[in-house]
Structure 1
């Protein structure tokens, strides 16, 4: 593909639409302008790695790598000092974020849903401009926990530093044994320090975890009363056919202020 076909000039910015182009590698023929503002690479399923190209993109504001097969992010990601939206949805081979992610001080949206991230690096706490954080944590984080301890999966006292956060979504595989009440309590304690939080998606596997959430108060008011939208999942997921799961999840995501009760045992006061 010729470089001339890669970029399209808009009134105030450069945009590169390379989504669904069957790209497997970004070779030198892709001569991106240093004024490039938006780069769309989603739906390139054969794209497995990124060369160190970000060091020449100081003006990049939007980067979408969704539905690619990338397995890591290059250290040059730290050069994207203007980046505001970074989307990595359904990058199922991505299991780790580099510490250089902490250099993205302008980031407002960080979407990691559908990845297999085993842990969040402590540098996540440096993203002070972040407004929307969506992350999927892998069941295989058990291996990381065994080596480093549960507190390193979501570093303690880091989420609370994201004081501009308006949306927080933490998806966890129901098979994840490490998603313990102790870890949940640490995360929920951080919610008290997020005054602008309006949307919350969280998996609470036990009635005890749900009870802990219901007890959270800010200024003597239950914290959930200040949320515009929440989706809480409690119980244990049944092994349903994939098509049924997909249908159920799509319907669930259309709802606001709801609790999904999955395969639990009886009712509890918390569920009611």
Structure 2
């Protein structure tokens, strides 16, 4: 079929010229009412004049698929009404110009099978886009273009496309240039669209990925410490599962390839091992937070005889639970009672280097004697705000040779806000190579017994006979100025709340935990203030004092202010008028 005469173009609303042998098109046909233009499968069409689309103001659908064009004409980006652009298998097309961002009405952009190996940032301006199809499958004979490609999809592009419903990314399993993928998928169902994780070769070549799955709502104040955000970033293959329900098979499949797993605010899972111990063989870092139904991290009893029959017998004999795990951080777990339930299998957690347990109000058991035997690699332990922990080690009256030392590589122990702690290790000799111990708000711990902490005296340590009784007690090789800053933060908290440091709240929290909980749960500052003050205080002064107290109570000494700064802040509030109302301090974080 030959194209219509130039004079006829202006009368048509639809023109279909697909599967012809067209080699050229008119220079600038006038098409004031043209809505649809199909030029696909014209394999000899190599160029389109720069002004070809100048007089097509109403064009909504354009199909240039399977042509031999090498570039898009300038006039194409002036099609302000264009909604659908098809460039499928334009194998000579290697560049998508930044001006693509001018097509503000675009809903479908199909570039599958092209040689376009990176998108311009301007794609993020296509906010009405519902379908985006890409190919990162360069053919071997296309020169060095693909080898130079870096960021295939610029950071923030997909998140800006809020109307996107369909995303297709075609990847060649033989292409070793694709090594990093970052995706946010609001629903687990979207994960099923990714077939890569069933292909061993693709998983092996994709050396870095970061997937966030689930409703990732932003909160004014996150319970997750900032340093943990960086921790999860440094691992090469990370999966974050947010606000999940149940244990979807798609999450389990992806977990098999992950080296870092962040389980955030899961609603109903009761143990981490529900995700399948066999799916976590490569896991090196695990962060679990605000999963209120989790009662145990690893349930060693969960594989009964029926379950074992589904596992090859030889595999079961050598199965080690989380043997590769190096970093385990658990925080704000309302129902957590223990780390490991049942007899530990030999080698389980044998590579664990760092363990942190923060704000676990029901936690009673951290280590058992059998579990201790597996933890020779553990170097750092942090236990904070766990009011029912009485000892780090729970063990029966089992005779132990006095020469037996556990946790041989332990270097740092930090114990914060443990009101029931009376013993470090129930008489077992641990940590012969300990370098630093920090203890804060542990009033019932008489003193670290030399029969338990069997290390040499800490270098430069200055031990006050009543040190363990002091508010803000902190031994870090020496008593530092920043320990005094922490203590002053406790004093400020007492003044604000009218509570004593060791008075329990209805939630079982001590004073420091109560102040932090107020911040994390975004309560009104008015709820925190000592009710006996009535309204006879400065609302602005209370806000400033609260923020200052929180800074002084930072667990990291380097994050606390110097006392000289504290004094300067206090000077700003001393002359403020003593008037307050609930209206001027209602901000949830203590800010105006």
| TM-score bracket for this pair, using the shorter chain length | 0.5 to 0.7
Q: For residue 93 of structure 1, what is the aligned residue in structure 2?
A: 92
* Residue-by-residue CA offset, 1:230-270 (whole Å, 9 max, x unaligned): xx9xx9xxxxxxxxxxxxxxxxxxxxxxxxxxxxxxxx749
Q: Secondary structure at the match of 2:85?
A: strand
* Residue-by-residue CA offset, 1:9-57 (whole Å, 9 max, x unaligned): 4xxxx011111221111134x7341221111101100001111212221
Q: For residue 115 of structure 1, what is the aligned residue in structure 2?
A: 114
- Correspondence 1:150 to 2:150: yes
Q: Secondary structure at the match of 2:113?
A: strand
Equivalents in 2 of 1:126, 1:214: separation in Å? 23
Deviation (angstroms), 1:129: 0.3
- Correspondence 1:39 to 2:37: yes
Instruction: Tell me if structure 1 keeps the 8 A contact 2:6–2:26.
Output: no
Q: Which has the higher strand share?
A: 1
- Correspondence 1:221 to 2:244: yes
- Correspondence 1:3 to 2:14: no
Instruction: Tell me if structure 2 keeps the 8 A contact 1:57–1:80.
Output: yes
Equivalents in 1 of 2:48, 2:162: separation in Å? 31
- Correspondence 1:206 to 2:229: no
Q: For residue 255 of structure 1, what is the aligned residue in structure 2?
A: none
Equivalents in 2 of 1:55, 1:195: separation in Å? 44
Q: For residue 24 of structure 2, what is the aligned residue in structure 1?
A: 25
Instruction: Tell me if structure 2 keeps the 8 A contact 1:165–1:197.
Output: no
Instruction: Tell me if structure 1 keeps the 8 A contact 2:118–2:150.
Output: no
Structure 1 residues 72 and 212 mapped into 2: Cα distance closer, same or farther (>3 Å)?
Answer: closer
Equivalents in 1 of 2:143, 2:154: separation in Å? 15
* Residue-by-residue CA offset, 1:74-110 (whole Å, 9 max, x unaligned): 2222101100010111111111111111111101111
Equivalents in 2 of 1:98, 1:41: separation in Å? 21
Equivalents in 2 of 1:17, 1:7: separation in Å? 14
Instruction: Tell me if structure 1 keeps the 8 A contact 2:29–2:55.
Output: no
Equivalents in 2 of 1:86, 1:33: separation in Å? 18
CA RMSD of aligned residues (A): 3.7
Instruction: Tell me if structure 2 keeps the 8 A contact 1:57–1:79.
Output: no
Give 5+ residue unaligned stretches, structure 2. 217-242, 258-277, 281-592
Q: For residue 159 of structure 2, what is the aligned residue in structure 1?
A: 160
**So what's the TM-score if we normalise by structure 2?**
0.33
Q: Secondary structure at the match of 1:76?
A: helix
Q: For residue 257 of structure 1, what is the aligned residue in structure 2?
A: none
Instruction: Tell me if structure 1 keeps the 8 A contact 2:40–2:63.
Output: yes
Give 5+ residue unaligned stretches, structure 1. 236-267
* Residue-by-residue CA offset, 1:128-178 (whole Å, 9 max, x unaligned): 00000011123369945765x623x21111111000000000111222222
Instruction: Tell me if structure 1 keeps the 8 A contact 2:117–2:136.
Output: yes
Structure 1 residues 50 and 142 mapped into 2: Cα distance closer, same or farther (>3 Å)?
Answer: closer
Instruction: Tell me if structure 2 keeps the 8 A contact 1:65–1:88.
Output: yes
Structure 1 residues 33 and 3 mapped into 2: Cα distance closer, same or farther (>3 Å)?
Answer: same
Max Rg structure: 2
- Which structure's relative contact order is higher, taking Cα pairs within 8 Å and 6+ residues apart? 1
Equivalents in 1 of 2:211, 2:191: separation in Å? 16
Q: For residue 51 of structure 1, what is the aligned residue in structure 2?
A: 49
Equivalents in 2 of 1:43, 1:63: separation in Å? 13
Q: For residue 127 of structure 1, what is the aligned residue in structure 2?
A: 126
Structure 1 residues 146 and 91 mapped into 2: Cα distance closer, same or farther (>3 Å)?
Answer: closer
**So what's the TM-score if we normalise by structure 1?**
0.67
Instruction: Tell me if structure 1 keeps the 8 A contact 2:42–2:67.
Output: yes
Instruction: Tell me if structure 2 keeps the 8 A contact 1:166–1:196.
Output: no
Q: For residue 264 of structure 1, what is the aligned residue in structure 2?
A: none
Structure 1 residues 98 and 203 mapped into 2: Cα distance closer, same or farther (>3 Å)?
Answer: farther
Q: Secondary structure at the match of 2:124?
A: helix
Q: For residue 74 of structure 1, what is the aligned residue in structure 2?
A: 73
Q: For residue 399 of structure 2, what is the aligned residue in structure 1?
A: none
